[in-house]
Amino acid sequence: MKILLVAVNAKFIHSNPAVYSLRAYAQSFLHVRGGERTGAFCKCGEGMRGEKPEILIGEYTINQQVDDILGDIYRKAPDMLCFSCYIWNISYIERIVREIHKVLPETEIWLGGPEVSYDAKETLLRLPEVSGVMKGEGEETFAHLASGEPPEGLAGITYRNREGKICENPWRDVMDLNKVPFIYQDMTDFEHKIVYYESSRGCPFQCSYCLSSLDKKLRFRDLELVFRELQFFINRRVPQVKFVDRTFNCNHEHAKAIWRYISRHDRGITNFHFEIAADLLDEEELRLISRMRPGLIQLEIGVQSTNPETVGEIRRKMQFARVAEHVKRIRRTGNVHQHLDLIAGLPFENFDSFRKSFRDVYALKPQQLQLGFLKVLKGSFMSENQESYGLVCQSGPPYEVLRTRWLSYDEVLRLKGVEEMVEVYYNSGQFTNTLPVLEEGFGDAFALYERLSEYYEDRKLNRIHHARAARYEILLTFGKEAFPEQEERLRELLTYDYYLRENAKSRPAFAGEYRMEKTVLRRFYEKEAEEHRYLPEYEQYDRNQMRKMTHLEHFAELGEMVLFDYNRRDPLTREARTVIIAKK
């Protein structure tokens, strides 16, 4: 028997830990069962005797052609086919399911994941090709299915019986997280991909827009197991490990133990990503964070809104004053990348209220600010209250908000424009010196990004894919139209920002003519090769090699001559080290 677990990811760099976890647990489960009857569950209860099933994984992306995926699945010829379903891939998977059934009509098809768990019956009515849905946590359910157990008494499934009737079985109790095998024995499948890890499941909070609030049983993996598994990543120099724990620091002792461990065993390579509630951080946690190697961890912090009425209505427990205090304190240490989130379209949040939320969070100057839009997820408290909120969302995935009682669709579109400009100009980290000047000119950041969005729309620039240097050119043109008296200052700031990141030997057009005379450049590098006054770590290099690894620029408006050193970059921003050679 052959079972194929299929993941359709949003991007190539993503992986799907769920399918690997299902396979690892099932293989362990079937091994323990030993000589018992095994074989894939087929035709709703007709078990297949024989050898233990072969369980394969097929990972694809939504950017691939459906024909290519169909052909690959067909050639694998599975007897049982299981799909992992989320809002970003369900439409794609439904199309694959309909087509693959035509060429593999005898293959059992099962679905699982959050996008089908909470409306399993409706999913089966919509997709007659599907035999059943695994609801919620899937490891134990899949293991029993793979062992050939009949569906009648199997918890955690909704299935179609031999007569075609849809049968709803009870949900399965959550499992002991320590029983889930570590899925990363062989890193070959995860090269050049983000590695995900969980040390807990469930969430103690009840945010109305989130499905994690439905899992009331918060569970933690034993720390001894966690330490062994984290050491595996550290030893293999994995670039980044992304914890998928919903609120990592909800258990202070658990969080502190893990942070202490990775700090003590750090080898200077692996970065660990955590989703946290910043207001929950205690003094010891803040001290631990302050002592970490720059780049050892990064923190994702969901603020969502700073409107107290909104925060109360979505049943979110957050003290924004404490969030702001802790984010600022962490930022002052300069060693941690912080990513803060906002959600537009929440109850009681109108355009002006959201603009204030944006200003409040932007003032904290995180490395990234994600302006997201409410997704009305099946099974969430938010979906049950759509009518009272006047909440209208897209009919299909990702079920994104279109309008509410407080926010019109026109205003949603305005916020979409702001979102795009924030992503391009703020989150890219490429304009750190130019943006503050423009913000001051427009009065605040929100006004800047809204006006920039209108500028893109008026000139149809938002319909074109722009090269990186073109973004600088556009911002210069935008800035000099708004503030013509600032043109040369803005040009120099953009040039400064460009060379902070780019060791470019081909000068971009927006920067204008290069003002450094060749004789001055030659003398500088000749002298530096002898004295190493500004580049003490470059003693093994000659003047020509040093020139290739650095850039010297004269800024008349700023009154500085600056050396950009690309061998010494900031571990968080990747900006070059800068040395002022001369000042007015």
pLDDT of amino acid 49: 44
C-alpha closest to that of 337 among 306, 378, 369, 363: 369
Instruction: Give CA–CA dist 361/369, Å, rounded.
Output: 8
Instruction: Give CA–CA dist 448/430, Å, rounded.
Output: 16
Q: Which residue has the higher pLDDT, 309 or 465?
A: 309
* pTM tops 0.75: yes
Q: Which residue has the higher pLDDT, 203 or 478?
A: 478
| pLDDT tens by residue, 518-554 | 999 999 999 999 999 999 999 999 999 999 999 999 9
**Percent of the chain with pLDDT strictly greater than 70:** 96
Q: In the predicted model, what is the mean pLDDT of residues 205-214?
A: 72
Under 8 Å between Cβ of 343 and 292: no
pLDDT of amino acid 48: 44
Residue 204 has pLDDT above 90, yes or no: no
Q: Hey, what are 368's tokens?
A: 């990234």
Contacting residues for 160 by C-beta, under 8 A, at least 6 apart = 44, 124, 130, 131, 132, 166, 167
Residue 43 has pLDDT above 90, yes or no: no
Under 8 Å between Cβ of 453 and 422: no
**What is the overall mean pLDDT for the chain?**
93
The C-alpha angle 228, 234, 240, rounded to 5 degrees, equals: 115
The helix or strand, by DSSP H or E, that contains position 489, with its residue range, turns out to be helix 487-501
CA distances to 78, 152, 201 from 108, in Å: 9, 17, 29
Torsion sign across C-alpha atoms 245, 194, 115, 79: negative
Instruction: Give CA–CA dist 347/210, Å, rounded.
Output: 14
Residue 405 has pLDDT above 50, yes or no: yes
| pLDDT tens by residue, 364-375 | 999 999 999 999
Torsion sign across C-alpha atoms 360, 363, 367, 372: positive
The helix or strand, by DSSP H or E, that contains position 435, with its residue range, turns out to be helix 434-442
Instruction: Give CA–CA dist 109/82, Å, rounded.
Output: 6
Instruction: Give CA–CA dist 563/550, Å, rounded.
Output: 7
**Percent of the chain with pLDDT strictly greater than 90:** 85
Neighbours of 202 (CB within 10 A): 20
Look up residue 374 and give its amino acid. L
Q: Hey, what are 500's tokens?
A: 């902070």
CA distances to 19, 58, 119, 132 from 7, in Å: 7, 6, 20, 17
> Dmax over Cα atoms in the chain, in whole Å?
89
C-alpha closest to that of 332 among 364, 378, 369, 370: 364
Q: To the nearest 10°, report the CA torsion of 482, 483, 489, 490.
A: -10
